Structure 1
Amino acid sequence: MLALTDLPTCPGLFYGSQARDGVLSRMRIPGGILNVQQCWSIANLIDRYSTGSLQVTNRANLQIRELHSEIPPSVWRELQELGLASRRVEVDPIRNIMASPTAGIDRQQLVDTRPLVAAWDDYLQTHPELSELSAKFSIGFDGGETVSIRNLRNDILLVAERISTKSEIVFRLYLNGDTGIIIEESQCIAVLAALTNVYLEYTKYQPRINGKKPRLRHLLADWDAEIYLEKVEQNLPFAFRRRSIDLSERDISQNSCGVGILPAPERLLTAHSRAIARNSNLGIHPQRQSDFSYIGIALPLGRLESKQLRNLANLAQNLASSTLRLTPWQNLVISDIPNPQVSEVKQQIAELGLHSSATRLDSCLIACAGSSGCASSATDTQSDALAMVRDLAQKLTIDRSINIHFSGCEKSCAQHQPIDITLVGTQIQRENQTIAAYNIYAGKKDLPFGRQIFPAISVPEMPRAIERMLRVYQQMREPGDSFSEFCDRWAIAKLQEFLIPKNQN
């Protein structure tokens, strides 16, 4: 590992980055799938070189915080042999390849994307020149699963769809939004390679932006998607196939060059697409393989102790298929459980201090590192989130999943689009003291966080504000309303009238 003064901003496994709480290292897990031997090795690594815990990230990576000693080369080699570290150090920091955690087992999938994830990871590993890409360059594969990733942010997203007139299954290409281009499964890696290589050539002749390599979004703002795709097509041995795009779904906003762009995938879904609730992967679900089920396990704030990881791996080996699947919602899935074993698996999960309920409040949390780990944060988001849950769990229960996002600043590193409730850290002056507080937003109507309901609520007062929001929602919602749907239905003044008691105005 490099000296602390040389550590990069974006962490990988070989080269961590410096955070307030120590060195942060990030382990790419393509598609999020781990076998038991890998889990045991990770647990041993954590016990020996860190504080005994790790986190699942919003790209289904594993994140190791507070590394306290240098990891020797022999350990790196062992991790490489196990498939836990890139064969080429140069490409290790590139963002993890995202796929549905139920790829290959989802009852509604059109394509099993696991071979595509493996093929694209192999392409990265065998092309060291791609280390010149922005470390934030991201690829996602959606096979049409119920547990879909199509509304999560990726630079390039391939979404499986069925062409009804031919019963043909293809992938649709998304950049800023739907390009209208459809790709056969056998063409996917060639198209991704051409997209990547044209982007790489672009970055060679562009100045850095705020000291960083240009992102793909900068190329799209500079060239427009059609120019980019024309250049990509020139590098392919076949022509693109195109399908029509509903022009009514075009985003009327303009990019930095004044060119109209298509909406991002989370705001443009094809007619048969299904965006899913963040926690719909939790609980027990039947697989496409008859007589088998998978169980989604909640990990509050993505946290997992090494002994829990080790015991979950043992459980998967003894009662399932020896596989753990990490999710982009910072949870974990055990797949291929014979149906007669489901109750035993659920009981053993409970004995580890974990659960699979989507309606427990600790399942509802997303949080950035907060002030304990990041100098940009105004608040200790992780501690504040867990303290809020402990407080509210004694006062109310919820019957539907709610998504609550804590962000220590306006960068919103942990969540990139509005969700049900977002708390953004700030600081306020009170009695000649600077104290931590949150601006609280609700719904999805306004970017980037929703509409502000409570401005500058101090940390001690914050749980009461969230309790009020949840109680009003449960009392006044219409049948089938999600929290965001309930909030977005009302004008902001009326919503604040409901949510802010008169003695707080």
Structure 2
Amino acid sequence: MQIPFTACPGLFYTTPAQDGFLYRLRIPGGIINYQQCQIIADIADNYGSGYIDITNRANIQIREIKQRINIEVLQQLQIFSLGSSNANIDHIRNIMTSPTAGIDTEELIDTRPLVKAWEEYITANSHLSELSAKFSVCFDGGGKVAIKYQPNDIILAAELDQSDVYLRLYLSYGEKGEASKDTGILLKPEESIQVLAALAETYLKHIDTKAHRKARLREIINNITIETYIQQVKEKLSPNIFDIRKNSLCDSATLREKNHLGIHPQRQTGLYYIGIVVPLGRLESWQIRGLANIAKRYGDDNIRLTPWQNLLLTDIPQNQILEVEQKITNLGLNSSPTDIKSSLVACSGKRGCAAAATETKEDALNLAKHLENLMILDSPVNIHFSGCSKSCAQHTQADITLFGVTLETANETVPAYQVYVFGHLLYEYVTLDKVPALIRQMLELYQKERLSLHESFGQFIDRHSHQLNQLFSKSSPNLTFTILKSHV
């Protein structure tokens, strides 16, 4: 079996981590059924340490694997669609779409058939394995749970043009970390796979296939210019398919992402989906089995993973919601959007990654325990613990970011955090014992001084953007001795 070189974890090749081998199950669209859940739980128990992690691309990772998974088990995973039938393309990043595709009350198009069609296309075209393992495609159906703001090389986002539904094309280029840019091009949904194929082939044309590190699409476009790239894509298509339609971006394209957690009506009358908080994206194998049983008994047999590292149970009849909620509680989980853990993100940390400076997951859970006992967070605040600069767990900017560092003293090396709000560095070298109190005081300041319950943390920060240092200095008067530097 010829597997392309990649530093990214996958299923058909092993990636060593600090805590053992790491396997990643690529799940296009993020939907898994009862039987698949049972198989995943078995793998976690038999090969790992009895847990799985949901990633920010709605994948599943199994960590702490001490021995390679044998070929018979890998083949079983293929049979049950937990591994690509073409191992050569299994390293390509997971195809993303909204976790509410097909059930969203506001969506313009069900994107699940598009995800399936694109997955079938890349599976049938092994030469696309030469693309960067980070090559990523996203379909947004235009619903209330938006996915088009997640980082991806190519985004096709549904919108109305008069009475017709089109897919607007966004491409990643410019500075690293910038959001994908609107090309002004609208496509008919039935044209999307042909256009994606041309986009991928044009990208591949400019890659040095012999290099171990394949250039990202952003780098290729930056090198040849967006105009040249679009023109070369157009040359691969029939004129009537890529006859560029330039439209100004609609007002409706502003951020409309709504919280997916809690209980929400589906477009199917009488049915609901429940968004469940998965603390730091981690589930024990017994919880996976329990959720699968709930999905099979009360829902549509499926669990939907989200890029926010939570999950949905779908097709729950209204008269069974209370019973399902109790069973979720019995699994040690909940569906509350105000749970501090609902917006808490952390990478694997020092235990799982040699690059990490801190035990991020442990520190994040300690923060959650501290906050749960002392305050109610009535508006979601995204808090991201990152052990190093790679920011593996979350690529988008968080409300509050804690970046792991080490503090060198005369006698020892002490783990600590730099604390940022929306990219503004506020505190350096905050030691672990002072982190919970500092974050609590920052959140209490926000709740006390916001204009209303509807002012988000981001809006609050933006309003005070020119005086953040002064603003937060009064939130931590007793912590100044732990902060060696403070600036914006």
> What is the TM-score when the length of structure 1 is the normalising length?
0.89
Structure 2 matches for 1:336-351, cutoff 5 A? Answer: 336-351=315-330
Are 1:95 and 1:138, in contact at CA under 8 Å, matched by a contact in 2? yes
Whether 2:225 is the aligned partner of 1:224: answer yes
2:442 to 445, 451, 469: 469
**What are the superposed Cα offsets for residues 256-282 of structure 1, whole Å, 9 maximum, x if unpaired?**
xxxxxxxxxxxxx742025356x8111
Q: Does 1:189 align with 2:193?
A: yes
Whole-angstrom CA distance in 2 between matches of 1:143 and 1:484: 26
Instruction: Give the secondary structure class of the aligned counterpart of 1:229.
Output: helix
Whether the 8 Å CA contact 1:358–1:401 is kept in 2: the answer is yes
SS at match of 2:185: strand
Match of 2:310 among 331, 343, 347: 331
Code of the aligned partner of 1:495? L
Structure 2 equivalent of residue 266 of structure 1? none
Which is worse superposed, 483-492 or 301-310? Answer: 483-492
- Counterparts of 1:498 and 1:287, CA distance in 2: 45
Partner SS state of residue 102, structure 2:
coil
Q: Cα offset for 1:8?
A: 4.6
**Match for 1:137: what amino acid?**
F
1:317 aligns with 2:296: yes
Partners of 2:2 and 2:402 lie apart in 1 by 35
* 2:260 equivalent in structure 1: 281
Distance 1:241 1:459 in 2: 57
Query: Could you tell me how far apart the structure 1 residues matched to 2:328 and 2:187 are?
Result: 41
Cα deviation per residue 1:182-236 (whole Å; 9 max; x = unaligned)?
A: 110110000000100111111037x84xx51111011111011111010011001
Which residue of the partner structure matches residue 300 of structure 1? 279
Partner in structure 1 of residue 166 of structure 2: 170
Using the alignment, how far apart are the partners of 2:92 and 2:277 within structure 1?
A: 27
Residue 70 of structure 2: aligned partner:
72
Task: Give the conservation status (yes or no) of the 8 Å contact 1:140–1:157.
Answer: yes
Q: Give the distance between the partners of 1:69 and 1:384, measured in 2 at CA.
A: 29
One-letter identity of the residue aligned with 1:150: K
User: Aligned residue for 2:216?
Assistant: 215
The answer on whether the counterparts of 1:406 and 1:422 sit within 8 Å (CA) in structure 2 is: yes
Give the alignment partner of residue 272 of structure 1, picking from 244, 252, 269: 252
Amino acid corresponding to residue 467 of structure 1 in structure 2: R
Please, which runs of 5 or more residues in structure 1 have no aligned partner? 247-268, 444-449
Provide Cα deviations, 1:367-405, integer angstroms capped at 9, x if missing partner. 111111111111111111111111221111111111000
Going from structure 1 to structure 2, the CA distance change for 1:501 and 1:2 (only over 3 Å counts) comes to farther
The answer to whether 1:482 aligns with 2:447 is no
Kindly state the Cα deviation for residue 7 of structure 1 after the two structures are TM-superposed: 8.5
Aligned residues: 469
Question: Equivalent of 2:397, from 400, 418, 425?
Answer: 418
Instruction: Quote the Cα distance in structure 2 between the aligned partners of 1:236 and 1:162.
Output: 24
CA apart distance, 1:497:
3.4
Question: Does the CA-based 8 Å contact 1:487-1:495 persist in structure 2?
Answer: no
| SS at 1:14 equivalent | coil
In 1, are the aligned partners of 2:142 and 2:158 still within 8 Å (CA)? Answer: yes
CA contact (8 A) 2:208 2:214 kept: no
Match of 2:486 in 1: none
Contact between 1:8 and 1:17, CA under 8 Å: does it hold in 2? Answer: no
The code of the aligned residue for 2:219 comes to H
Of residues 47, 50, 70, the one that matches 2:48 is: 50
Q: For structure 2, which runs of at least 5 residues remain unmatched after alignment? A: 173-180, 482-488
Identity %: 46
Q: How does 1:90-169 map to 2 (within 5 A)?
A: 90-164=88-162, 167-169=163-165
Counterpart of 1:171, as a letter, is: L
Q: Write the deviation string for residues 31-67 of structure 1: whole angstroms up to 9, x where unpaired.
A: 0011111111111121111111000000000000011
State the alpha-carbon separation in 1 of the partners of residues 76 and 384 from structure 2. 37
- The root-mean-square deviation of aligned C-alpha atoms, in Å, is 1.9
Task: Select 1:452's aligned residue among 417, 425, 442.
Answer: 425
- Using the alignment, how far apart are the partners of 2:185 and 2:354 within structure 1? 42
Is residue 2:204 matched to residue 1:200? yes
On the 8 A contact 2:21/2:68 being kept in 1, the answer is no
Deviating more after overlay: 486-495 vs 432-441: 486-495
Matching residue's letter, 2:53 = Q
- 8 Å CA contact retained: 2:14, 2:68: no
Report if the CA contact (8 A) 2:26-2:83 is conserved: yes
1:241 shift after superposition:
4.0
Give the Cα separation in 2 of the matches to 1:24 and 1:7.
16
